[in-house]
A and B are shown apart, each in its own frame.
Chain A
């Protein structure tokens, strides 16, 4: 029964990630030129990214079967987050008429957004079986990029909001859960 639910969930998620999200974002963004909407994409992308990356340590620590099965659905979830982040960045560059020079500098939150998006693009491009075959062992290494992308995103959004607390809390939580999960899986 649970297997059936997971399988249909997988189907819905794939339709969402590969069809609905890119289509809806493209149409919505070209019809509604509103900064708030594009900012909202970024917020959704960030929440999605945190969820995806916390899924594995939490499932390892808790041992819940259903969570562990969700771990297998991270690819379509990741692709959804990729589209949201892409449209967030691209539409804000357009709407705010940003130039490279506006986005550079270590004290500029946009810089961290750009680097995070670059990381996501690499992750997106390599999220297919072709890359998996070609990159072999290196594929796993490429996927580790998701961690710096998470920290860069947190930094970017915390700086954009002018409130660094989120960055510290979520990063610490993430590192703590990762360490905990690591120790737990090693003991077994």
Chain B
């Protein structure tokens, strides 16, 4: 009977990691994180967002000047300083208190106001592109594409860092393997 308690322990460890994973992924997601990013930045969330590929979403964020707050994942947050830096304005003190339409209006005015800014071209491209980004990206002039590529470099984080839930899962699997080995040896 003894080895079965080992196996049960293995199962408990793995299940615990799984539960934590589920909560982590759930807490991170909740379906509102991309909405939170767009709301806070003062942009409209594209209607067909749900069916976009991950790369497409990230490219779109970047095209708006939205970069991850830390590492290379968004997880409901973006680098606010960098965003306003790219808009070329200081973040208004009352930004948190503004309503969504007010933020959108602010961003729109900034885009319209700063014509001299090199960034402006990139911004225009984006505003035009709201309707059909892909077509715009391919059809847009060389210069504008250059601007986008020069201005908006994706954040490259070469080191792979696993989130906590995945680390737990990986350790859980290794732990289960060790316990499994022990129980198989003990059985003999």
A23, B177: Cβ atoms closer than 8 Å: yes
- With a cutoff of 8 Å between Cβ atoms, the chain B residues found around residue A104 in the complex are 31
The chain A residue sitting closest to B28, CB to CB, is A99
B33, A26: Cβ atoms closer than 8 Å: no
B7, A128: Cβ atoms closer than 8 Å: yes
- Bound-state Cα–Cα, A97 to B58, Å: 10
B169 close to A (CB within 8 Å): yes
- Bound-state Cα–Cα, A130 to B3, Å: 11
- Bound-state Cα–Cα, A15 to B174, Å: 14
- With a cutoff of 8 Å between Cβ atoms, the chain B residues found around residue A124 in the complex are 11, 14
User: Given the interface contacts A19-B184, A30-B170, does A97 sit within 8 Å of B54 by beta carbon?
Assistant: yes
B8 close to A (CB within 8 Å): yes
B162, A30: Cβ atoms closer than 8 Å: yes
B163, A22: Cβ atoms closer than 8 Å: no
Per-position 1/0 for A13-54, Cβ under 8 A of B: 011011110110111011001000000000000000000000
**Chain A CB within 10 A, most for which of B10, B170, B184:** B170
User: Pick the contact of A23 from B29, B173, B184 — CB < 8 Å?
Assistant: B173
- With a cutoff of 8 Å between Cβ atoms, the chain A residues found around residue B166 in the complex are 90-91, 94
Chain A positions near chain B (C-beta within 8 angstroms): 14-15, 17-20, 22-23, 25-27, 29-30, 33, 83, 86-87, 90-91, 93-94, 96-102, 104-105, 121, 124-125, 128-130
Pairs A–B under 8 Å by Cβ, sample size 30: A18-B7, A18-B183, A19-B184, A22-B173, A22-B174, A22-B176, A23-B173, A23-B174, A25-B173, A26-B174, A29-B170, A33-B160, A83-B173, A87-B173, A90-B21, A93-B25, A94-B166, A98-B54, A99-B29, A99-B33, A100-B29, A100-B31, A101-B30, A101-B50, A104-B31, A125-B11, A128-B8, A128-B11, A129-B4, A130-B4
